[in-house]
Structure 1
Amino acid sequence: MSGVSTSPCSLRFLIYVMTIAMCIICYGDRAALSVSMPRISKEFGLTPGETGWVLSSFLWSYFFLNLPSAIILDRKGARFVGAAAVTLWSCAMIFGSLATTVPAFIATRILLGVGEAPTFALGNKVMRYWSRPGERGLMMTAFICGIPIGLAVGAVASAWLVEVFGWRSTFVILGACGLLWSLVWLWIYPSRLALHPSTQRGTFVVISLPTLFGSRDFWGVVIPQCCANYANFLLMSWLPIILRDTFHVSLVQSGLYTAYSYLGAAILSLVFGKVGERAVRDVERTPSGRRHAVSFFLLMASTLGIFPFCHSPLAAISLLIFAIACVTAGTGANMALLADLVAERESLGSVTGLTLTFSNGLGIAAPVLTGYLLQETGNFHTVFYITAVIILLGAGVVFLMPRHPIHAYRITVS
């Protein structure tokens, strides 16, 4: 059991805060690489194409381990997996500060991907367990708000720390923050056996890939998640560099512009999440009703395609706030839609992990393709046009396809 003695309501609030904080730390650590990349590229002599590969390197392990880590989550519980995952990726940040060659640095990023692999499955499972059905969409949006908040805080903090202490010390400081989170999580989170007696030793839940792959409704959630993740990973990896190169500003100024964009988006996405949750309750009460909110938010997010026409920082930041908020609200609503549709609740972590395996597979392409497009064209215009088309595809698919419960065939081994 945890070391905290508190009321169920207070404990639920603490769990919410800590789960969102985990997401913030995760994306703050990712932002540190984006902000530090100009210094790292210069130190290691990287071309734009090679920079894209370094920016995407954590996704290599992240992609392959989403499903296995989610299965471990269903087996071992959120308390153990949360602490172990954040400890591992925080140590990877610290190891990265010690790297003296490109292969060694990439190895630490791959290790970081191993630690971050169960993050979203854990967040979805925890929010599903602790939240009431009527607030599930809002709480998932709040969790996913950790993405823009983490990227904003990480961009500002990293820009300042890199300027003052250098990128290596910055990685150490951010890694220490994650290690502190792990200790607090172990202290406050109740043990798995107390919360999930159905998953005690001797019982194991296995999802059926053929059953899920044959489900139109499963793909109706997976495809829009892939499309939204492409935009997420593009901006997460390249936004500070995009703003710096587009408006010819300093490292610190590009970090501030990035922070303004993500903080504004975090606030606006919570508003959008609340409005979307109310609209779902008022318009359609079926489990698949949330798909309308997902489709609408992704449709609005496709406005990223007009970024090349923004000729001032104010216009660009305003557009980014709106578009990122829509991506965040759409992703949160889509994960809540998945939680609504999965019939076997105890398999939700594994189904989420499988969903993210596909979505992160497309996400890997974003930073790499962006690097080569920049190398060939000298600007980011084509990057944003392609991203807008991909997001529109996701909006159409989620509107048309998911209508029925998603069954994850289970084999119980005693």
Structure 2
Amino acid sequence: MTTRSVTESEAPAAPSGASLPARPRGRGKNVRWGIAVLCFGGLAVNYLDRSTLSVALPSMSDDLHIGPETQGFILSAFFFTYALCQLPAGALLDKYGVKRVFAIGAIWWSVATVGMGLVRGVGSLVGARMLLGAGEAAGYPAPAKAVSRWFPRHERTLANSVWDNGARVGTAIALPLVTMLVSAFHWRVAFIACGLLGVLWIIGWWRLYHEPADHPKLTTEERAYIEAGGAHTDETAAQEADAPKVRWRDLFRYRTVWGMMLGFFCLNYVIYFFITWFPSYLVDERGFDLLKLGFFGTVPGLVAIFGSLLGGFTADRLLRKGWSTTRVRKTCLVSGTLCSSVIALTVVVPTASGALALLSLSYASLTFSTASVASLPADVAPTAGHVASLAGIQNFASNVAGILGPIVTGFLLASSGGSYLVPLLVSGALSVVGALTYAFVIKRVEPLPVR
């Protein structure tokens, strides 16, 4: 026999708005969106720092004598520690709070980024890359936790798409910024400069982020609005004592959690092609020089931003219209991941512009789904104290793809004489597997029953 806990995930979507106060309007009554933008900035710096290596790698490979197989291993080294540290990062966020843990993670990854500009060989580069992964592990579950506390359920998907777009903006900025720094100065300067940008964000984060219970600028009207919509604004000791006890390891007993893990693994395998091998693809397969890479290489990332915002807007609008959470999430997740399989068609397109168009569509389709992916932990968490833990578990599985993807692509390139035919076909196939996972492995999107 099972019991169910009532969390913010079960709060009514109120499609007609009848059970909700009027949406706060006017200056000073949208503090929650400032929080989303602050998280966006953190993730943008996070992805800028991790993407710096991908852009600088062609220049670094000459100086440090790095071959294709070794390049793949170096790119994937980040994901070993990044994936493993997702698990403790989520648990620590639930225990010690978003503000403190996210700040510590940002300090860690900024120092590691600067360190990558000081390396002298492959060994030190791998070590710095692994330290970077450990520090950046809080970058995904922290904003997911913050949004679950700051936003009503019917605005949560769009809010998640806002901060999640930091990944696209950070990756897109990395191409022109790092290319400029490498061309004007040296690849070492690029790492040091990007690491110092993280320090600026940390200062802003520590000064501006507060929990809803103690934010100095949160009005009574806005707080009533987000609480009525299902945001868990204040986890008091009494509430935690009354909440059902679910051990962290018991979360792995649920089919829904395994579906979240496998689906995000497939989705992120394709996304990390764009983060790691995409610049090399444009240079090696399509003949882009450094100038073209810095300009045209930003196109898929920019298009993906609009795909993410469209995914968040679509999901929240469907919730307001009365669609069930299960129907909304599956619609967005299945359609987005399935459409992203067009990446496989890139192999038959003769022109660089045609390939860039298909890659842009694929990336935008993936990000259309990611806003709903980021909302799943809060949707299914058995209690409010499990949101970051579930986000960390989900992101752990997705970044196993970050470990395998660059290595597999590197070996496939080496074995085929540098052809991207098989790597792109593999990415397209995994997109289809991801769509089938979200369609059939996850049965219902609802709070997990407490056994």
State the TM-score, normalizing by the size of structure 1: 0.91
TM-aligned CA distance change 1:404 to 1:272, over 3 Å: closer
Structure 1 distance, partners of 2:450, 2:315, is 31
Map of 2:132 onto structure 1: 112
> Residue in 2 aligned with 1:396?
436
- Between the aligned partners of 1:175 and 1:408, the Cα distance in structure 2 is 43
- In structure 2, distance between residues paired with 1:15 and 1:259: 26
Deviation of 1:214 after TM superposition, in Å, equals: 2.4
1:211–1:408 contact (8 Å) kept in structure 2: no
- Aligned mates of 1:206, 1:95 — CA distance in 2: 42
Residue 179 of structure 2 aligns with an amino acid whose one-letter code is A
More helix by share: 1
2:33 and 2:95 map into 1 onto residues whose CA distance is 24
Matched, 1:9 2:29: yes
Q: Please say if residues 325 and 446 of structure 2, whose CA atoms lie closer than 8 Å, have aligned partners that are also in contact.
A: no
Once residues 268 and 405 of structure 1 are traced to their aligned partners in structure 2, the CA distance between those partners, rounded to angstroms, is 25
2:182 aligns with 162
CA distance 1:209–1:83, change in 2 (3 Å):
closer
Unaligned runs of 5+ in 2: 1-26, 215-232
Task: Write the distance in 2 (CA, Å) between the matches of 1:363 and 1:318.
Answer: 24
Is residue 216 of structure 2 the alignment partner of residue 177 of structure 1? no
Q: More deviation in 370-379 or 202-211? A: 202-211
Going from structure 1 to structure 2, the CA distance change for 1:241 and 1:291 (only over 3 Å counts) comes to same
CA distance in 2 between counterparts of 1:350 and 1:295 reads 24
In the TM superposition, residue 362 of structure 1 has moved relative to its aligned partner by 2.4
- Give TM-score scaled by structure 2 length: 0.84
Question: Is the aligned partner of 1:211 residue 2:250?
Answer: yes
CA shift for structure 1 position 284:
2.5
Structure 2 equivalent of residue 198 of structure 1: 236
Q: How many residues align?
A: 404
Deviation at 1:116, TM superposition (A): 0.5
Shift of 1:251: 2.2
**Do structure 1's residue 43 and structure 2's residue 83 form an aligned pair?**
no
Partners of 1:241 and 1:272 lie apart in 2 by: 29
**Structure 1 counterpart SS, 2:140:** helix
| Partner Cα distance (1:61, 1:115) in 2 | 9
Matched ranges for 1:53-202 at <5 A: 53-190=73-210, 194=214, 196-198=234-236
Corresponding residue for residue 3 of structure 1: none
Q: Distance in 1 between matches of 2:193 and 2:438?
A: 40
- SS at structure 1 position matched to 2:118: coil
- Identity across the alignment (%): 26
Q: CA deviation at 1:209?
A: 5.0
1:211, 1:407 within 8 Å by CA — same for their partners in 2? no
Q: Which residue of 1 aligns with 2:376?
A: 337
Question: 1:292: which partner in 2?
Answer: 331
Secondary structure of the residue that 2:107 maps to in structure 1? helix
Contact 1:34-1:237 at 8 Å conserved across structures: yes
Q: CA RMSD, aligned part only?
A: 2.4
Cα gap change, 1:249/1:192 in structure 2, threshold over 3 Å: closer, same or farther? same
Which residue of structure 2 aligns with residue 304 of structure 1?
343
Give the Å deviation of 1:176: 0.8
The Cα offsets for residues 14-54 of structure 1, whole Å up to 9 and x where unpaired, read as 21111011111111112211110011111111110000001
Q: Deviations over 1:55-101 (max 9, x none)?
A: 11111111111010111111111111121111110111111111112
Name structure 1 gaps, 5 residues minimum: 1-6
Aligned to 2:227: none
Larger radius of gyration: 2
Structure 1 residue 404 displacement after superposition: 5.0
Partners of 1:327 and 1:163 in 2: how far apart? 32
1:266 aligns with 2:305: yes
